[in-house]
Amino acid sequence: MNLFSPLTLRQLTLKNRIVVSPMQQYSAKNGIPGNWHLVHLGGRAVGGAGLIMTECTAVSPEGLATLSDVGIWNDEQKDAWKNIVDFVHEQDAKIGMQLWHSGGKGSLKHPNEKMKPLTKEEGGWTVKSSSPTEMNGVIPEELTVDEIQELKVKFVEASHRAVEAGFDTIELHAGHGYLFHQFYSAVINKRNDEYGGSLQNRIRFLVETVGEVRRSIPDGMPLLVRISAVDYLQTSDAWTLDDSIILAKILRENGVDLITASGGGFANVSKDRVFPNYQVPFSSTIRQQTGIATGAVGMITEAVQANDIIVNDEADLIFIAREHLRDPYFALHSAKELELKVEIPWQYKRAF
């Protein structure tokens, strides 16, 4: 088994273990992906990756972080995504949609404007979270139980549209300080009802949504979840790897097929803790302790490095982000470096 071994999850078979990790492009209008997204995602499919993941895609307008993010809450967005899906499939690659709600980390300006809070005049909205806990200088409103139920419906509706658009898999983004993470981490969640307090209560929103989405998509379609395995905070209420192991077992029981193990979201990680493979132990430990398939992330930039993670059974998939921005053909270049034969687009064979 190596980086270019196929992987089957339910009825989906990936030609290799290389995934284009979700990366925000801040280039949409009205949540609609455009030519930039077609070229960005399609180029990486031409480049040989087995699975192409969309950037985190909002299930409702209030789920956006910025007004330049993509969404899938209406059919116009769905139809635009279908064009991208069709092109990726033409390149013999698979494509997944990462569904997401930013929660209290929403209503922000474009990164070129330093992601400061939007005013109402600029199109801003009232952000809501598990609790009125300050994030990025903003105190969100607390979601009511009825609003939580409505959000679960939004995720199901978005899942239906993703299936209709032809996506091969769906990933729920439950990390990086966004809404699901704002519920399961006690750093943010200070509720006193059935969605707060104990770990079982704090993970309830995610677990219930997973169940609803799992029942609403085809049995043969894998369901993935990205989590922050740790909060990177030295506080008694911080989420820990032990908590993630408990969560992973429950998610597996509820039909999740793979967990992408990332970290952080509420604070900047100190630079001395960021180095090649720095988050791989999360995927490895969760995989070993729970038996669920995992995806590894965290400064994975080289072919041998990525291959060793697979060979050493530390993860089942390698999610590569920034290196794919630098090199859209990372997979083809990796195969050459590892001296492995892969199918090359006929248009490009003269270069290889």
Please give the average per-residue pLDDT across 22-43, as a whole number.
98
Give helix then strand counts, H and E, for the chain: 11, 13
The pLDDT, as a whole number, for residue 111 is: 97
Q: Which helix (H) or strand (E) holds 252?
A: helix 241-253
Burial 215-247 (b: 16+ CB within 10 A, else e): eebeeebbbbbbbbbbbbbeeeebbeeebbbeb
How far apart are the C-alpha atoms of 193 and 174, rounded to whole Å?
Answer: 21
How far apart, in Å, are the Cα atoms of 155 and each of 49, 205, 264, 266?
A: 27, 12, 23, 23
Given a contact cutoff of 8 angstroms between Cβ atoms, the answer to whether 17 and 5 are in contact is yes
- The structure tokens listed for 225 are 């979840």
Phi, psi for 3 (deg, rounded to 5): -60, -25
Task: Locate the domains of the chain by residue range.
Answer: 7-340
Please give the average per-residue pLDDT across 100-111, as a whole number.
98
pLDDT digit string (tens) for 71-102?
999 999 999 999 999 999 999 999 999 999 99
Which one is catalytic: 178, 184, 195, 329? 178
How far apart are the C-alpha atoms of 306 and 153, rounded to whole Å?
Answer: 37
**DSSP letter string over 258-325?**
EEEEE--SSSPPPGGG--TTTTHHHHHHHHHHH--EEEE-SS---HHHHHHHHHTTS-SEEEE-HHHH
Which carries the bigger pLDDT value, residue 118 or residue 271?
118
The pLDDT, as a whole number, for residue 269 is: 87
State the pairing for strand pair 12-14/141-142.
unpaired
> Cα-atom radius of gyration of the chain, to the nearest Å?
19
**DSSP letter string over 92-130?**
T-EEEEEEE--GGG-SB--GGGTTPBPPGGGT----EES
pLDDT digit string (tens) for 154-209?
999 999 999 999 999 999 999 999 999 999 999 999 999 999 999 999 999 999 99
Which carries the bigger pLDDT value, residue 137 or residue 329?
329
The pLDDT, as a whole number, for residue 297 is: 98
Q: Which fold has domain 7-340?
A: TIM Barrel (3.20.20)
The pLDDT, as a whole number, for residue 329 is: 98
Residue labelled with tokens 């999850």: 9
Residue 232 is among the residues annotated as catalytic for this protein: no
